[in-house]
Amino acid sequence: MVIDESMHTTVEWSLNERARQSRLLGLGEPFHGEETFPRLRNDLLRGLVDRDRCRCVALESDCLAGRLVDDHVRGGTWHLDQVMADGFSHGFGASPANRALVTWLGEHNRTRPAADQVRFAGFDAPMENSAESGAHSPRAALDTLHTFLTANSATVPHAWARIEDLLGDEARWTNPAATMDPAQSIGDTAEVRELRLIADDLARLLASRAPQFTEDDSAEALRDAELGARTATGLLAYHAALARTDRQERMESCMGIRDAMMAANLNALATREHDHGHGPVLVFTHNEHLRRNASRNVRWSPAGAHLSRGLGPDYVAIATAIGSAPHRGIGEPPANTVEGLLAATVSAPRLVPLAELSQLVAEADDLTRRTTENRAYFPLDPARLTDFDAVLFLPHVDAPDGASEAR
């Protein structure tokens, strides 16, 4: 099944082969920062939207910041430059393909009624964990949750003034040194322990009263409040994990919390789209977050493992794999790797179903996982092919215009 036309046609054919319509369609990338991958995502989205198969795209970006992008593409007055700067995390706002996505969504939605517009969402936790910024403060999430409860409940058990006192200075939360040094984390302080109890109280109060708000104009605000509850409790748990002194336990806890938050956000999006009679949410993220199975070497479960457990066949995951990308330090794949097998049989971009890929691997001898100079690149593991429903194989990824083929 060679792709000699647009990718979305082939993916749609694959979806039509399934016994039931999926609720989440994941498209992964083997590493971040290569424009080829989000450009393919844009093409897939446009094709699925044109065929009434999709009305929401979700990116591995800050779930709270993503609301700014969604507001913009549905008629908001924010300037595009501000949306790209403030609506994305991890530096993804600088991507030309992401800018093209936001521009296209705005143009598409301009002439459509609200019910037919395509929504944007970030589904990642607000956690940069870079040299410039650590995990975010839960202030914005708690504010969203507390404001909704105050407006819709006769009483709220915790005053915002007390929450503000406990939150304190933002710099205490975003200290990037806490990412590696538990002594720099505030996660084990008395203030954070009290905030965790408060956040749990508010989240339970919201959950207990949620049915009152699902049948009227409060439904959208309720979903925002629920996002605030998930984010606040998750961030506070994450900061507590950063304070743990056992290095392995710390890493596993932080990774597990982040992916569980991703999965919860995607489940909420899938439910919203299903309730509105729409097709699957198109999810774009790293291959590693889409995997259906837990890691063997680290005891944590990727978002895909949670989604597969809850949605079963309603969750579809497509990994992107590449043959070569010399400008990224990725040469031709060795013959005894999955990518090498694919390169020997595929001369153009192709969507390879799991059954076909498994047959190829079964007929080969002594396959090993590929290694390259690019440490950010995650190749396919021949022992873990069931992590995905299909693989989109790109035999060669070209350097962008003006870039060198050597890196």
Write out the residue range of the structural domain in which residue 11 sits: 7-128+275-396
CA distance 204 to 198: 10
Question: Are 147 and 110 in a shared domain?
Answer: no
Say if residue 26 is in the same domain as residue 123.
yes
pLDDT 10s digits, 358-395:
999 999 988 999 999 898 999 999 999 999 999 999 99
Q: What is the structure's pLDDT at 405?
A: 42
Shared-domain flag, residues 304 and 356: yes
Domain identity same for 218 and 299: no
Question: Per-residue pLDDT tens for 3-31?
Answer: 334 565 667 666 666 656 789 999 999 99
Query: In this predicted model, what pLDDT tens digit does every residue of 275-326 receive, in sequence order?
Result: 999 999 999 999 999 999 887 666 789 999 999 999 999 999 999 999 999 9
Kindly tell me if the per-residue pLDDT of 403 is higher than 80: no
Asked whether residue 143 is domain-assigned, the answer is yes
Q: Convert the pLDDT of each residue in 217-239 to its tens digit.
A: 678 999 999 999 999 999 999 99
Q: Is 151 a member of any domain? A: yes
Whether 388 is covered by a domain: the verdict is: yes
pLDDT value, residue 215: 59
Percent of residues, the chain, with pLDDT higher than 90: 80
Same structural domain, 76 and 156? no
Whether residue 284 sits in one domain with residue 380: yes
User: What does the pLDDT read at residue 132?
Assistant: 63
Task: Check: CB of residue 23 under 8 Å from CB of residue 273.
Answer: yes
- Does residue 406 belong to any structural domain of this protein? no
User: Over the stretch 123-154, which tens digit does the pLDDT of each residue have?
Assistant: 999 987 665 667 899 999 999 999 999 999 88
Query: Residue 407: pLDDT above 60?
Result: no
Percent of the chain with pLDDT over 70: 90
Number of domains in the chain: 2
**Distance between CA atoms of 115 and 190, rounded to whole angstroms?**
46
> Same domain, yes or no, for 290 and 227?
no
d(C-alpha 58, C-alpha 327), whole Å: 28
CA dihedral sign, ordered 226, 252, 89, 309: negative
Same domain, yes or no: 17 and 116: yes
Residue identified by tokens 């991958």 is: 37
Residues 98 and 59 occupy one common structural domain: yes
Which pTM does this prediction carry? Answer: 0.94
**CB–CB of 58/118 below 8 Å?**
no
Strands 390-396 and 350-353: antiparallel
Do residues 120 and 169 both lie within one domain?
Answer: no
Indicate whether 16 and 118 sit together in one domain. yes
Question: Domain boundary residue among 243, 265, 291?
Answer: 243
Looking at 224, 243, 262, the residue that finishes a domain is: 243
pLDDT value of residue 2 = 35
Whole-number mean pLDDT of the chain?
A: 91
The pLDDT, as a whole number, for residue 7 is 60
Q: Please indicate, yes or no, whether residues 165 and 118 belong to a single structural domain of this protein.
A: no
